[in-house]
Amino acid sequence: MHPVTAKLAADMSIDEQIGQLFVVGFHGTTPSPDIVDLIKNHHVGNIILFSRNVQDTAQVRALTYELQRIAHEAGHRYPLLITVDQENGMVQRLGKGSTAFPGNMALGATGSIQLVQDVAYACGQELKALGINMNLAPVVDINNNPANPVIGNRSFSEVPQDVARMGVAALEGYARAGVISCLKHFPGHGDTAVDSHLSLPVIAHSLERLEQVELVPFKAGIAAGADSIMTAHVYFPTLIEEEGIPATLSSTIIRGLLRQRLGYQGVVISDCLEMNAISKTFGFTRGSVMALQAGIDLVLISHVYEHQLEGLNAIREAVAKGVISEEIIQEALERVLELKARRLSWEDTLARQTNTIVNSPEHQELSTQAYERSTTVIKDEAGLLPLRLQPEQRVLLVYPQKDIWTKATDQYHQFEVLAHAIRERHPQVTAHAYKPVENEATPTELLQAANEADLIIAVTVNANIDRAQAQVLKDLQRTGRPLIGIAGYNPYDLLAFPELTTYLVTYEYTAPALTAAARVLFGEISAQGHLPVSLPGLYEHGHHL
């Protein structure tokens, strides 16, 4: 540890030390009384922002500045780490006013390492301009399970080496922009069929298999100088002797596998302890204590003030009783302070910055280029593409609507953007949204509209694991009308209806992804994307028309 940093750590009270080991969120677009209390009186040194904290870019810059000012006046030795899950694609906390960039799988479909780095650099520039100094990205999970409900399109690919190369490119992009990055979710969350926001997933692979697949991107990221690594709330029974202990709470995983075997000495941050995989099994009190005991440096509690107080008080009590040694606190604190000392300063943090880079024309052009390179046509056996419609022909656009798909993403229903984009090119368009409900018949009015249409365009979202959507699409096929399927999230939907003859993938249902799809449909641009994952029994990784 640097001597100056070591002296600062030694001069801090135990409450100050503990506060530096927590990352907390809050509600509101200005500093709430709760977050002010946590910064001032509990010495919390790290903040996470969500969509609920965002109105526009000017407001975000004012918010981050005010949070740092409060910390500075409260005597914090280093600036706050202010972080966010700006993974891009479907996980965009700063959706209002910042540039919308493609998510990982869309970038994976381009096959361009340079494009991954350019997007990370541009994203990092915008974050830094808004006073956000850390991004909880990139995701380097390998999505090799089509039934995965929570990673999916947040992954670059199913090929470990591709994920490793793209993950390192993202690290380099964020580093160029001066933003701290985070590899996640160690030691891997890609081969699960359970969402850890809802319960505890299990991965039963051997260490040998993990070394060959899941750990490959983490090894590459560590070699490239990863700033931080986030753990997964996943249970690995072949590695962890204690039954039902997730990686986040396992010393075997963090101290043994990550630090000793892989040699990583940087900051380790937990995924949020309010996710059900932890909160419904261990709770915030026990979970916070177990996390630090296991080797976590930063404990993340994202949402509820009372839960955050529970965690802080639990650590204070555990230290007082000797359940957690001061050595554990010191080791974690040293890593956090070293990161802050190396990457942050009060002078830079409190300097007023201009916002000209956010949503700049250059970034908009980069975004458009990336999205247009990602759209992938998997098959067109019916020869429907590009569309050659007569003015009087009627197009029916069908898409599902649910309140939430997964708790990881930001839920923006933007299928109307696709309807508008098609209508600009062909006015005779009717859009029909439906709520997929298992074991319920396809709505009569939808089938009637389908029978009256000359062409049906049906968007699906995870239809391979949503039988209600799959049934709707099969019913649309039975009408005998020309049908184009668009996977608006993961490419695996075709597994549920492999007989569909025309099928393309956007990898996300964001506005720019759907706009690019419309341009492909009408032949304005060619589809350049390649499948970054395989569709078992149908198409190999890398397939495209």
Measured distance CA(109)–CA(374) in Å, rounded: 5
Total structural domains within the chain: 2
Higher pLDDT, 230 or 4: 230
Which tens digit of pLDDT belongs to each residue from 300-338?
A: 999 999 999 999 999 999 999 999 999 999 999 999 999
Query: Exposed/middle/buried for 20, CB within 10 Å: 0-12, 13-18, 19+?
Result: buried
Q: For the chain, what percent of residues have pLDDT higher than 70? A: 95
Asked if the structure places residue 369 within a domain, the reply is no
Higher pLDDT, 204 or 355: 204
**pLDDT recorded at residue 203:** 87
Asked if the model's pLDDT at residue 406 lies above 60, the reply is no
**pLDDT recorded at residue 277:** 75
Asked if the structure places residue 531 within a domain, the reply is no
**pLDDT recorded at residue 419:** 96
Sheet strands side by side (includes 267-269): 183-186, 228-231, 267-269
- The lowest-confidence range among 266-270, 384-388, 409-413, 448-452 is 409-413
Asked if the structure places residue 368 within a domain, the reply is no
Query: Exposed/middle/buried for 404, CB within 10 Å: 0-12, 13-18, 19+?
Result: exposed
Summarize the confidence of residues 430-452 as an average pLDDT.
Answer: 94
Using the 3D structure, point to which of 307, 332, 349 is the last residue of a domain: 349
Asked if the structure places residue 541 within a domain, the reply is no
Asked if the structure places residue 169 within a domain, the reply is yes
- 277 plus 395 within the same structural domain: no
Query: Exposed/middle/buried for 303, CB within 10 Å: 0-12, 13-18, 19+?
Result: middle
- 335 plus 228 within the same structural domain: yes
Asked if the model's pLDDT at residue 191 lies above 90, the reply is no
Which tens digit of pLDDT belongs to each residue from 237-293?
A: 999 888 889 999 999 999 999 999 999 999 999 999 988 878 888 888 899 999 999
- 145 plus 21 within the same structural domain: yes
Which stretches of 151-272 are assigned E, i.e. beta strand?
183-186, 228-231, 267-269
Measured distance CA(368)–CA(374) in Å, rounded: 10
In contact, 241 and 226? CB cutoff 8 Å: no
**pLDDT recorded at residue 152:** 87
Asked if the model's pLDDT at residue 405 lies above 60, the reply is no
- Domain of 28, CATH number, reads 3.20.20.300
Asked if the structure places residue 360 within a domain, the reply is no
Measured distance CA(12)–CA(77) in Å, rounded: 9
- 391 plus 318 within the same structural domain: no
- 313 plus 417 within the same structural domain: no
Residue with tokens 């409060």: 70
As a residue count, the chain comes to 545
Which tens digit of pLDDT belongs to each residue from 116-149?
A: 999 999 999 999 999 999 999 999 999 988 887 7
Give the C-alpha distances (Å, rounded to integers) separating 428 from 151, 375, 460, 517: 37, 24, 22, 18
- 163 plus 291 within the same structural domain: yes
Query: b/e per residue, 115-143, with b = 16+ CB within 10 A?
Result: bbbbbbbbbbbbbbbbbbbbbbbbbbbbb
Give the model's confidence band at 1: pLDDT under 50 very low, under 70 low, under 90 confident, else very high: low
Measured distance CA(447)–CA(396) in Å, rounded: 11
- The lowest-confidence range among 223-227, 234-238, 363-367, 383-387 is 234-238
Give the model's confidence band at 69: pLDDT under 50 very low, under 70 low, under 90 confident, else very high: very high
What letter does residue 381 receive in the DSSP assignment?
T
Asked if the model's pLDDT at residue 436 lies above 60, the reply is yes
Summarize the confidence of residues 167-172 as an average pLDDT.
Answer: 99
- Give Dmax over CA atoms of the chain in angstroms: 79
Residue 51 belongs to domain spanning:
16-349
Question: Which tokens belong to 409?
Answer: 């993403």
Measured distance CA(216)–CA(396) in Å, rounded: 45
- 128 plus 264 within the same structural domain: yes
Asked if the model's pLDDT at residue 411 lies above 70, the reply is no
Mean per-residue pLDDT over the chain, rounded: 93
The catalytic residue positions are: 197, 271
pTM of the model: 0.95
**pLDDT recorded at residue 18:** 98
Summarize the confidence of residues 449-467 as an average pLDDT.
Answer: 96
Asked if the structure places residue 361 within a domain, the reply is no
Asked if the model's pLDDT at residue 536 lies above 80, the reply is yes
- 341 plus 393 within the same structural domain: no
Summarize the confidence of residues 179-189 as an average pLDDT.
Answer: 95
- Domain of 504, CATH number, reads 3.40.50.1700
Which tens digit of pLDDT belongs to each residue from 367-387?
A: 999 999 999 999 999 999 999
Give the model's confidence band at 508: pLDDT under 50 very low, under 70 low, under 90 confident, else very high: very high
In contact, 155 and 508? CB cutoff 8 Å: no
For residue 62, the surrounding DSSP H or E stretch is helix 57-73
Summarize the confidence of residues 407-423 as an average pLDDT.
Answer: 79
- 344 plus 381 within the same structural domain: no
- The lowest-confidence range among 68-82, 195-209, 251-265, 317-331 is 195-209
Asked if the model's pLDDT at residue 507 lies above 90, the reply is yes
- 294 plus 384 within the same structural domain: no
**pLDDT recorded at residue 407:** 53
As a dihedral over the C-alpha atoms of residue 159, residue 165, residue 168, residue 173, rounded to 10 degrees, the angle is -120
Q: For the chain, what percent of residues have pLDDT higher than 90? A: 84
C-alpha gyration radius of the chain = 24
Give the model's confidence band at 2: pLDDT under 50 very low, under 70 low, under 90 confident, else very high: low
Asked if the structure places residue 167 within a domain, the reply is yes
- 443 plus 506 within the same structural domain: yes
Dihedral sign for Cα 511, 517, 522, 523, please.
positive
- 64 plus 138 within the same structural domain: yes
In contact, 287 and 250? CB cutoff 8 Å: no
